[in-house]
Amino acid sequence: MKNRRSFVFFGLLLLSIQFSLLLHPAHAYLNARSAILLETTTGKVLFEQNPDAAIPPASVTKLMTLYLVYEAMREGRAHPWDSVKISKRAAGTGGSRMHVRAGTEVPLEELIKGMAVDSGNDACVAAAEHISGSVEDFVAAMNRKARELGMNNTTFFNPNGLPAKGQVTTARDMAKLSAAYLQRFPESLRVHSMRCYTYNNITQHNRNRLLGTCPGVDGLKTGWIVASGYNLAATAKRGNTRLLAVLLGAPTPGARAEETARLLEDGFQRVASNSPESLRTIIAEPVPVRTGQKKRGVAPLQEYPGSR
């Protein structure tokens, strides 16, 4: 009798484990610290994984900088043709750069390309000084806008995402920013979709590897610093559906591209099938992405803070 009870208990335990695996399959999780996927028209969240984890934004910070630049132009406080005087502070900013020179003047529309495509930290400082008079005043405006957008778990300390103690965001907050940015300034995708940009005889390639490799992707912004890992806010449109994915803390640039493509692909499949089932149960095999990197786990030879 005792052996029979033990057998029944063991059988029930196995059934419980199997049921749990059906609800939470191991393949449902992305190789990243945090992620969220939403449909931009309805705002419906299709997938989330630790979406409120506090992680440094790295160069995804530049989406807020670009938001404020586009807003200033929309309100007539700035114009694309403005000549922006490059300060020594801007020209001397490290990390990924547009390579602007102190004392020269650069049209604001070129700085926008330098921020969006080159991930130029120097361009961010120059734009911040032009819009608000100083970097400090611009950063204060960034944080005010963050509160206005409901980004309650985000704090900015600079306009470019370079390492700064206490500068953090979440995937959910970055999704709020990205969705608002796309809604208010859809014209920005003309710049974010550029695969390369040449300034001062230096051509740099957009670090968003999904451009041209994942159907429908036309933005937005990558980021990397040691403390964050590899970040990406990406958007894609197929037919009448636009999805927005934010992935933070991937271990390599290849994993960042693969996991974001995987998330977008499964999201479009779920929307097309019009299924109420959570996307959490359908994340499957990685989607092949032509990243130029043969296997996961191989990092680039060089990394620049706030550059990826």
- Which has the closest alpha carbon to 257: 292, 303, 284? 292
Alpha carbon 67 to its chain centroid, in Å, reads 14
Whole-angstrom distance, CA of residue 144 vs CA of residue 38: 24
Burial of 133 (0-12, 13-18, 19+ CB in 10 A): exposed
| 39 dihedral zone (left: phi>0; alpha: psi -120 to 50; beta) | beta
Structure tokens that stand for 211 in this block: 């451009």
| 294 dihedral zone (left: phi>0; alpha: psi -120 to 50; beta) | alpha
Which whole-number Å values give the CA distances from 130 to 85, 97, 172, 280, 295, in the listed order? Answer: 8, 18, 30, 44, 43
Instruction: Enumerate the active-site residues.
Output: 59, 62, 119
C-beta separation of 40 from 183 below 8 A: yes
Under 8 Å CB-to-CB from 70, ≥6 apart: which residues?
181, 184, 185, 188
Is the N-terminal amide bond of 220 cis, ω within 30° of 0?
Answer: yes
